[in-house]
């Protein structure tokens, strides 16, 4: 067997490990993903096989490597203004109804490398300006959170940002930083990035007006979805909005949240 192939038995072990640690179900179709994302780690650690690498991950000496492996297997592609109808709804429907004088709070609960919370911040800054608002952005992956905190991206990542927002809230890199852009510090300072595993007990974060939980539940089985949503519900204010991705639904997951439109729900 070549180094960069994985047997069914080895894949089963990684499948069970990711389910235990992150609540994510890896279907057999994800075998190439496991090989592609972890292959370099095998070579770097000079492991003979995926079985050998797995034994290292679950050993006392493999704790740091385990964090890296989970990061690599759970990080998903994202971009600014992804599924833009949600941000239109935030700007045009949710925010105009917000009672001034209270802090408007949003949780981006699967924020990946930061494009989602920074998009939210752009909308809140545009509508609420210097008013009272804040964002909590969390992810399982410490590696992508480090990147997200910088607010620094390659210029091609700006493709979906409307030009007037790009001019107002982003700084174009010059010199050694040419070809990149930086999210304005006024927005970066409004976001608190935190490492949170949605399959564990939630930290005390207070209540939110809006929770974004997008493009993550597609990796959970039905029971895990129910448990995750049940953990988050107490943190959503009455009347607050819960947003999932356009490819996801809460049918059979929660009967507490009421549908407003596809992928948008509200807590009575």
Average pLDDT over residues 193-201: 95
How confident is residue 213, by pLDDT bands cut at 50, 70 and 90?
Answer: very high
Give the span between the Cα atoms of 200 and 192, in whole angstroms: 19
Rounded CA separation 31/155 (Å): 32
Amino acid 59: pLDDT: 93
Q: Rounded to an integer, what distance in angstroms lies between the CA atom of residue 35 and that of residue 177?
A: 33
Calculate what percentage of the chain has a pLDDT beyond 90.
Answer: 79
Instruction: Give me the half-sphere count of Cα atoms (radius 13 Å) on the Cβ side of residue 205.
Output: 29
Domains of the chain: 8-74 (1.10.155.10), 84-152+187-266 (3.40.50.150)
User: Is residue 92 flagged as an active site residue?
Assistant: no
Q: How far is CA 246 from CA 54, 216, 249, 262, in A?
A: 35, 12, 8, 7
Query: What pLDDT was estimated at residue 250?
Result: 96
- Hey, how many other C-beta atoms are within 10 angstroms of the C-beta on 210? 26
Out of 38-52, 175-189, 198-212, 225-239, least confident range: 38-52
Of 139, 188, 209, 214, catalytic: 139
| Separation CA 80–CA 29 (nearest Å) | 28
Q: How confident is the model at residue 2 (pLDDT cuts 50, 70, 90)?
A: very low
The active-site residue, picked from 37, 143, 231, 266, is: 37
What's the predicted TM-score (pTM) here? 0.85
Q: 222 pLDDT exceeds 50?
A: yes
> Active-site residue 139, yes or no?
yes
Give yes or no for a contact between 50 and 14, defined as CB atoms under 8 angstroms apart.
Answer: yes
Q: What is the pLDDT of residue 128?
A: 96
pLDDT of residue 176: 95
pLDDT digits (tens, 9 = 90+) for 67-87: 889 888 876 778 999 999 999
Q: How confident is the model at residue 56 (pLDDT cuts 50, 70, 90)?
A: very high
| pLDDT at position 1 | 38
């Amino acid at each position: 067997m070549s180094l960069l192939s994985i047997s069914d038995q080895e894949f089963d072990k990684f499948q069970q490990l990711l389910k235990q640690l992150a609540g994510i179900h890896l279907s057999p179709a994800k075998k190439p993903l496991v090989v592609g994302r972890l292959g370099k780690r095998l070579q770097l650690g000079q492991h003979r096989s995926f079985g050998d690498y797995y034994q290292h991950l679950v050993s006392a000496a493999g704790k740091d490597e385990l964090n890296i492996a989970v990061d690599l297997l759970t990080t998903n592609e994202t971009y600014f203004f992804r599924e833009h109808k949600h941000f239109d709804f935030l700007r045009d429907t949710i925010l105009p109804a917000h009672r001034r004088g209270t802090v408007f709070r949003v949780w981006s609960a699967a924020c990946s490398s930061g494009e989602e919370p920074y998009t939210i911040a752009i909308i809140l800054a545009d509508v609420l300006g210097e008013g009272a608002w804040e964002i909590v952005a969390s992810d399982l992956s410490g590696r992508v959170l480090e990147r997200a905190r910088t607010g620094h991206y390659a210029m091609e990542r700006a493709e979906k940002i409307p030009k007037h927002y790009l001019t107002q809230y982003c700084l174009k890199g010059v010199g050694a930083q040419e070809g990149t852009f930086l999210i304005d510090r006024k927005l970066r300072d409004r976001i608190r990035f935190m490492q949170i595993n949605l399959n564990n007990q939630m930290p005390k974060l207070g209540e939110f007006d809006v929770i974004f939980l997008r493009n993550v539940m597609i990796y959970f089985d039905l029971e895990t979805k129910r448990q995750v949503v049940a953990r988050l519900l107490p943190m959503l204010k009455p009347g607050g909005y819960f947003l999932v991705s356009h490819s996801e639904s809460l049918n059979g997951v929660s009967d507490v949240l009421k549908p407003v439109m596809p992928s948008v729900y509200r807590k009575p």
